[in-house]
Protein backbone atom coordinates (compact mmCIF):
# COMPACT_ATOMS: atom_id res chain seq x y z
CA UNK A 1 0.00 0.00 0.00
CA UNK A 2 1.32 3.43 -0.94
CA UNK A 3 2.45 5.55 1.96
CA UNK A 4 0.43 8.59 2.96
CA UNK A 5 1.60 11.48 0.83
CA UNK A 6 3.44 14.20 2.71
CA UNK A 7 5.54 17.02 1.38
CA UNK A 8 9.25 16.31 1.63
CA UNK A 9 10.26 19.75 2.87
CA UNK A 10 13.94 18.92 2.84
CA UNK A 11 13.90 18.92 -0.98
CA UNK A 12 12.55 22.49 -0.89
CA UNK A 13 15.11 23.49 1.74
CA UNK A 14 17.99 22.10 -0.33
CA UNK A 15 16.67 23.89 -3.42
CA UNK A 16 16.49 27.10 -1.38
CA UNK A 17 20.13 26.79 -0.33
CA UNK A 18 21.13 26.00 -3.92
CA UNK A 19 19.34 28.97 -5.48
CA UNK A 20 20.91 31.30 -2.91
CA UNK A 21 24.25 29.87 -4.00
CA UNK A 22 23.36 30.65 -7.61
CA UNK A 23 22.54 34.25 -6.69
CA UNK A 24 25.85 34.67 -4.84
CA UNK A 25 27.82 33.11 -7.71
CA UNK A 26 26.15 35.37 -10.28
CA UNK A 27 26.73 38.38 -8.02
CA UNK A 28 30.47 37.68 -8.01
CA UNK A 29 30.35 37.00 -11.76
CA UNK A 30 28.64 40.33 -12.44
CA UNK A 31 31.01 42.25 -10.18
CA UNK A 32 33.98 40.88 -12.11
CA UNK A 33 32.77 40.80 -15.73
CA UNK A 34 30.47 43.81 -15.81
CA UNK A 35 31.61 46.14 -13.04
CA UNK A 36 35.34 45.49 -13.16
CA UNK A 37 35.97 44.43 -9.59
CA UNK A 38 38.90 42.13 -8.93
CA UNK A 39 37.30 38.75 -8.14
CA UNK A 40 39.78 36.10 -9.35
CA UNK A 41 38.01 33.50 -7.21
CA UNK A 42 35.47 33.12 -10.02
CA UNK A 43 38.14 31.24 -12.03
CA UNK A 44 39.26 28.92 -9.24
CA UNK A 45 38.73 25.14 -9.29
CA UNK A 46 36.75 25.52 -6.07
CA UNK A 47 34.31 27.90 -7.76
CA UNK A 48 33.94 25.48 -10.68
CA UNK A 49 33.28 22.59 -8.29
CA UNK A 50 30.70 24.52 -6.25
CA UNK A 51 28.93 25.66 -9.44
CA UNK A 52 28.81 22.18 -10.98
CA UNK A 53 27.90 20.44 -7.72
CA UNK A 54 25.03 22.86 -7.15
CA UNK A 55 23.76 22.43 -10.70
CA UNK A 56 24.01 18.66 -10.32
CA UNK A 57 21.93 18.77 -7.16
CA UNK A 58 19.27 20.82 -8.96
CA UNK A 59 19.16 18.24 -11.76
CA UNK A 60 19.05 15.28 -9.37
CA UNK A 61 16.20 16.82 -7.36
CA UNK A 62 14.37 17.65 -10.60
CA UNK A 63 14.56 13.95 -11.44
CA UNK A 64 13.11 13.05 -8.05
CA UNK A 65 10.32 15.62 -8.52
CA UNK A 66 9.48 14.21 -11.95
CA UNK A 67 8.74 10.85 -10.32
CA UNK A 68 6.47 12.64 -7.84
CA UNK A 69 4.72 14.95 -10.32
CA UNK A 70 1.17 14.40 -11.54
CA UNK A 71 1.80 16.22 -14.83
CA UNK A 72 5.31 16.47 -16.23
CA UNK A 73 3.94 17.90 -19.49
CA UNK A 74 2.88 21.07 -17.67
CA UNK A 75 6.17 21.23 -15.77
CA UNK A 76 8.08 20.86 -19.03
CA UNK A 77 6.00 23.54 -20.76
CA UNK A 78 6.48 26.07 -17.93
CA UNK A 79 10.20 25.40 -17.78
CA UNK A 80 10.54 25.65 -21.56
CA UNK A 81 8.77 29.04 -21.60
CA UNK A 82 11.23 30.32 -18.99
CA UNK A 83 14.15 28.88 -20.94
CA UNK A 84 13.05 30.57 -24.16
CA UNK A 85 12.53 33.88 -22.36
CA UNK A 86 16.05 33.59 -20.99
CA UNK A 87 17.39 32.89 -24.48
CA UNK A 88 15.52 35.88 -25.89
CA UNK A 89 16.72 38.22 -23.13
CA UNK A 90 20.37 37.21 -23.47
CA UNK A 91 20.21 37.43 -27.28
CA UNK A 92 18.78 40.97 -27.17
CA UNK A 93 20.68 42.50 -24.26
CA UNK A 94 23.94 40.54 -23.83
CA UNK A 95 24.45 38.62 -27.05
CA UNK A 96 28.00 37.62 -26.12
CA UNK A 97 26.43 35.72 -23.19
CA UNK A 98 23.65 34.16 -25.28
CA UNK A 99 22.14 31.05 -23.66
CA UNK A 100 20.49 28.44 -25.85
CA UNK A 101 21.46 25.23 -24.07
CA UNK A 102 21.32 26.18 -20.40
CA UNK A 103 20.06 24.29 -17.37
CA UNK A 104 16.44 25.35 -17.94
CA UNK A 105 16.55 24.10 -21.56
CA UNK A 106 17.99 20.81 -20.33
CA UNK A 107 15.41 20.41 -17.56
CA UNK A 108 12.52 21.20 -19.91
CA UNK A 109 13.72 18.50 -22.31
CA UNK A 110 14.19 15.94 -19.54
CA UNK A 111 10.78 16.65 -18.02
CA UNK A 112 9.20 16.12 -21.43
CA UNK A 113 11.31 12.99 -21.94
CA UNK A 114 10.07 11.59 -18.65
CA UNK A 115 6.48 12.58 -19.41
CA UNK A 116 6.69 10.54 -22.62
CA UNK A 117 8.72 7.55 -21.40
CA UNK A 118 8.34 7.61 -17.64
CA UNK A 119 5.88 4.72 -17.59
CA UNK A 120 8.45 2.53 -19.31
CA UNK A 121 11.24 3.60 -16.96
CA UNK A 122 9.01 2.97 -13.94
CA UNK A 123 8.63 -0.69 -14.95
CA UNK A 124 12.36 -1.14 -14.29
CA UNK A 125 13.26 -1.77 -10.62
CA UNK A 126 13.94 1.61 -9.03
CA UNK A 127 17.17 0.43 -7.42
CA UNK A 128 18.53 -0.48 -10.87
CA UNK A 129 17.48 2.86 -12.38
CA UNK A 130 19.09 4.75 -9.53
CA UNK A 131 22.34 2.80 -9.15
CA UNK A 132 23.10 2.11 -12.82
CA UNK A 133 22.51 5.68 -13.95
CA UNK A 134 24.48 7.22 -11.09
CA UNK A 135 27.39 4.87 -11.80
CA UNK A 136 27.31 5.82 -15.49
CA UNK A 137 27.22 9.49 -14.52
CA UNK A 138 30.16 9.06 -12.16
CA UNK A 139 32.13 7.33 -14.94
CA UNK A 140 31.32 9.84 -17.70
CA UNK A 141 32.22 12.98 -15.71
CA UNK A 142 35.95 12.19 -15.32
CA UNK A 143 36.03 10.76 -18.86
CA UNK A 144 34.87 14.09 -20.26
CA UNK A 145 37.32 15.98 -18.05
CA UNK A 146 40.37 13.85 -18.86
CA UNK A 147 39.87 12.94 -22.51
CA UNK A 148 39.86 15.80 -25.03
CA UNK A 149 37.00 15.63 -27.52
CA UNK A 150 38.19 15.47 -31.16
CA UNK A 151 37.62 18.79 -32.89
CA UNK A 152 35.74 17.03 -35.69
CA UNK A 153 32.99 16.22 -33.19
CA UNK A 154 32.73 19.76 -31.84
CA UNK A 155 31.30 21.60 -34.84
CA UNK A 156 27.97 19.84 -35.30
CA UNK A 157 24.81 21.14 -33.61
CA UNK A 158 23.63 17.68 -32.60
CA UNK A 159 26.95 16.60 -31.13
CA UNK A 160 27.08 19.91 -29.25
CA UNK A 161 23.67 19.16 -27.73
CA UNK A 162 24.88 15.67 -26.91
CA UNK A 163 27.83 17.01 -24.95
CA UNK A 164 30.78 17.55 -27.28
CA UNK A 165 31.12 21.26 -26.58
CA UNK A 166 33.39 23.69 -28.36
CA UNK A 167 33.91 24.52 -32.00
CA UNK A 168 31.72 27.19 -33.58
CA UNK A 169 28.84 26.83 -31.13
CA UNK A 170 28.70 28.48 -27.72
CA UNK A 171 26.11 28.76 -24.97
CA UNK A 172 27.08 30.86 -21.95
CA UNK A 173 25.23 28.35 -19.77
CA UNK A 174 25.92 24.87 -21.15
CA UNK A 175 24.08 21.76 -19.96
CA UNK A 176 24.15 19.09 -22.67
CA UNK A 177 22.69 15.60 -22.44
CA UNK A 178 26.00 14.05 -21.44
CA UNK A 179 26.64 13.57 -18.62
CA UNK A 180 23.60 15.21 -17.03
CA UNK A 181 21.00 12.87 -18.58
CA UNK A 182 22.09 10.03 -16.31
CA UNK A 183 22.00 12.15 -13.16
CA UNK A 184 18.40 13.20 -13.89
CA UNK A 185 17.27 9.62 -14.60
CA UNK A 186 19.10 8.44 -11.49
CA UNK A 187 17.02 10.99 -9.60
CA UNK A 188 13.81 9.49 -10.96
CA UNK A 189 14.86 6.14 -9.55
CA UNK A 190 15.47 7.78 -6.17
CA UNK A 191 12.06 9.41 -6.51
CA UNK A 192 10.41 5.98 -6.18
CA UNK A 193 11.60 5.71 -2.57
CA UNK A 194 10.48 9.27 -1.85
CA UNK A 195 7.05 8.59 -3.37
CA UNK A 196 6.63 5.40 -1.35
CA UNK A 197 7.72 7.08 1.87
CA UNK A 198 10.80 4.87 2.19
CA UNK A 199 13.02 7.71 3.37
CA UNK A 200 14.15 8.97 6.81
CA UNK A 201 11.50 10.90 8.73
CA UNK A 202 13.70 13.97 9.22
CA UNK A 203 13.40 14.70 5.48
CA UNK A 204 9.76 15.65 6.09
CA UNK A 205 10.68 18.36 8.63
CA UNK A 206 10.68 22.01 7.65
CA UNK A 207 13.87 23.02 9.44
CA UNK A 208 14.07 26.58 8.06
CA UNK A 209 10.81 28.02 6.76
CA UNK A 210 12.31 31.08 4.95
CA UNK A 211 14.80 28.91 3.03
CA UNK A 212 12.11 26.35 2.32
CA UNK A 213 9.85 29.08 0.95
CA UNK A 214 12.68 30.25 -1.31
CA UNK A 215 13.13 26.66 -2.48
CA UNK A 216 9.49 26.49 -3.57
CA UNK A 217 9.98 29.53 -5.81
CA UNK A 218 13.35 28.77 -7.36
CA UNK A 219 12.39 29.27 -11.00
CA UNK A 220 10.95 32.74 -10.29
CA UNK A 221 14.08 33.71 -8.38
CA UNK A 222 16.28 32.26 -11.13
CA UNK A 223 14.51 34.31 -13.79
CA UNK A 224 14.43 37.59 -11.87
CA UNK A 225 17.62 37.70 -9.80
CA UNK A 226 19.96 38.77 -12.60
CA UNK A 227 18.02 41.83 -13.84
CA UNK A 228 17.32 42.90 -10.25
CA UNK A 229 20.97 42.52 -9.25
CA UNK A 230 22.13 44.31 -12.38
CA UNK A 231 19.80 47.22 -11.64
CA UNK A 232 21.00 47.51 -8.04
CA UNK A 233 24.67 47.19 -8.96
CA UNK A 234 24.25 49.79 -11.71
CA UNK A 235 22.93 52.25 -9.14
CA UNK A 236 25.86 51.49 -6.84
CA UNK A 237 28.68 51.39 -9.38
CA UNK A 238 27.29 53.31 -12.32
CA UNK A 239 27.16 51.69 -15.74
CA UNK A 240 30.22 49.56 -15.04
CA UNK A 241 33.27 48.88 -17.13
CA UNK A 242 34.08 45.84 -19.19
**Predicted TM-score of the model (pTM):** 0.90
Confidence bin at 242 (pLDDT 50/70/90): very low
Burial 199-227 (b: 16+ CB within 10 A, else e): eeeeeeeeeeeebbebbeebbebbeebbe
Alpha helical stretches, state H, the chain: 9-33, 45-68, 72-93, 103-121, 126-146, 157-162, 177-195, 209-215, 218-237
pLDDT band for position 39 (cuts 50, 70, 90): confident
Separation CA 239–CA 230 (nearest Å): 10
More confident residue, 127 or 30: 127
Which sign, positive or negative, has the C-alpha torsion 59, 61, 62, 63?
Answer: positive
Distance CA 137, CA 179 (A): 6
What was the pLDDT predicted at 147? 61
Q: What is the pLDDT of residue 1?
A: 35
Residue with more model confidence, 160 or 223: 223
| Angle between the N-to-C axes of helices 9-33 and 45-68, in degrees from 0 to 180, rounded to the nearest 10 | 140
| Model confidence band, residue 3 (pLDDT cutoffs 50, 70, 90) | very low
Evaluate whether 188 touches 69 at the Cβ level (below 8 Å): no
- pLDDT over 80 (residue 156): no
Does residue 168 register a pLDDT over 60? Answer: yes
What digits encode the pLDDT tens for the residues 181-224?
A: 999 999 999 999 999 999 999 999 999 999 999 999 999 999 99
For residues 34 and 242, the answer to whether their CB atoms sit within 8 Å is yes
Q: What is the spatial distance between Cα 41 and Cα 181, in angstroms, rounded to a whole number?
A: 29
Cα(233)–Cα(227) distance, integer angstroms: 10
113 pLDDT more than 50 = yes
CA distance 169 to 180: 19
Whether the CB-CB separation of 101 and 161 falls below 8 Å is answered with: yes
**pLDDT band at residue 152 under the 50/70/90 scheme:** low
The pLDDT confidence band at residue 78, using thresholds 50, 70 and 90, is: very high
Task: Give the pLDDT of residue 153.
Answer: 64
Mean pLDDT of 100-106: 95
**What pLDDT was estimated at residue 240?**
44
234 has a pLDDT exceeding 90: no
Q: What is the pLDDT of residue 49?
A: 87
For 103-169, give the DSSP string: HHHHHHHHHHHHHHHHHHHTTS-HHHHHHHHHHHHHHHHHHHHHSPPPGGGSS-HHHHHHT---TT-
Cα separations in angstroms, 16 against 23, 25, 28, 48, 217: 11, 14, 19, 20, 8
Mean pLDDT, all residues of the chain: 88
Instruction: Count other C-beta atoms under 10 Å from residue 11's C-beta.
Output: 19
Q: Say if residue 48's pLDDT is above 90.
A: no
How many residues does the structure list for the chain? 242
Amino acid sequence: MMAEKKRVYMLDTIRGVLILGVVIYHLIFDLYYIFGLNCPWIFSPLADFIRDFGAGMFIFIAGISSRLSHNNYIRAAKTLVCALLLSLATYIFIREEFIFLGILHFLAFMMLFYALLGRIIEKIPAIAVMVVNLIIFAFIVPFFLINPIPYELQINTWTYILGFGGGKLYSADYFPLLPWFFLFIGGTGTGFYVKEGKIPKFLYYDICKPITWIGRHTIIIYMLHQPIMYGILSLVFGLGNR
